[in-house]
């Protein structure tokens, strides 16, 4: 619901073609519109370097928006670019992604999220990364392979090992 003092921003469907045509104001409004979404994704993947990851993602979106051919795929494209840039930033800055699993807190016990986050922090970087991409972002194996620039078989083996290590760490925590 919009308040009287809040400006009426055009929709993405109105902004996107103008931004792709070089309208700087439309590009600015479009980036402002997606910024909270991009920040939320980046901070859940790269906790310590979330700001850097968000900045890299916004820059990649800015550079790539002109090449987006299917406007209806905008949000999916933004998500893919953001996840890719967050993973790259985490790797570049020497920290694997750390998923806080924020969606689990909505319906469950808030204390469970603290325990899950603690267990995730104790996992190797590759395992945190793959579990975050699967559990938080719902990526399938091919999407994870594309995001991480590894073969699908590598994704499958990492996912298997990550689940095993998570279960082992969870049982150690509760013992």
Residue spans of the chain under pLDDT 50: 1-7, 95-107
Question: What pLDDT was estimated at residue 142?
Answer: 87
Question: What pLDDT was estimated at residue 104?
Answer: 42
CB 153 within 8 A of CB 99: no
Q: For residue 60, give the DSSP letter.
A: H
Predicted TM-score (pTM) of this structure? 0.56
Q: What is the b/e burial string over 52-79, where b = at least 16 CB atoms within 10 angstroms of the residue's CB?
A: bbbbbbbebbeeebeebeeeeebeebbb
Q: For residue 41, give the DSSP letter.
A: H
Question: What pLDDT was estimated at residue 87?
Answer: 81
Q: Is the four-CA dihedral 34, 106, 49, 154 of positive or negative sign?
A: negative
Helical ranges in 48-140 per DSSP H: 50-64, 74-92, 104-107, 110-122, 125-131
């Amino acid at each position: 619901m919009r308040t009287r003092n809040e400006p009426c921003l055009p929709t993405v469907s109105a902004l996107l073609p103008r931004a792709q045509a070089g309208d700087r104001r439309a590009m600015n409004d479009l980036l402002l519109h997606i910024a909270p979404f991009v920040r939320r994704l980046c901070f859940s993947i790269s906790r310590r370097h979330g700001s850097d990851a968000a900045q890299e993602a916004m820059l990649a979106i800015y550079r790539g928006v002109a090449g987006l051919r299917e406007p209806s795929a905008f949000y999916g494209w933004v998500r893919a670019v953001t996840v890719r840039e967050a993973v790259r930033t985490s790797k570049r800055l020497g920290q694997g992604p750390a998923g806080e699993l924020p969606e689990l807190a909505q319906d469950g016990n808030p204390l469970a999220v603290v325990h899950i986050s603690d267990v995730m922090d104790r996992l190797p970087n590759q395992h945190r990364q793959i579990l975050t991409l699967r559990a938080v972002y719902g990526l399938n194996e091919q999407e994870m392979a594309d995001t991480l620039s590894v073969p699908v078989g590598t994704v499958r083996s990492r996912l298997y090992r990550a689940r095993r290590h998570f279960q082992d760490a969870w049982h150690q925590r509760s013992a």
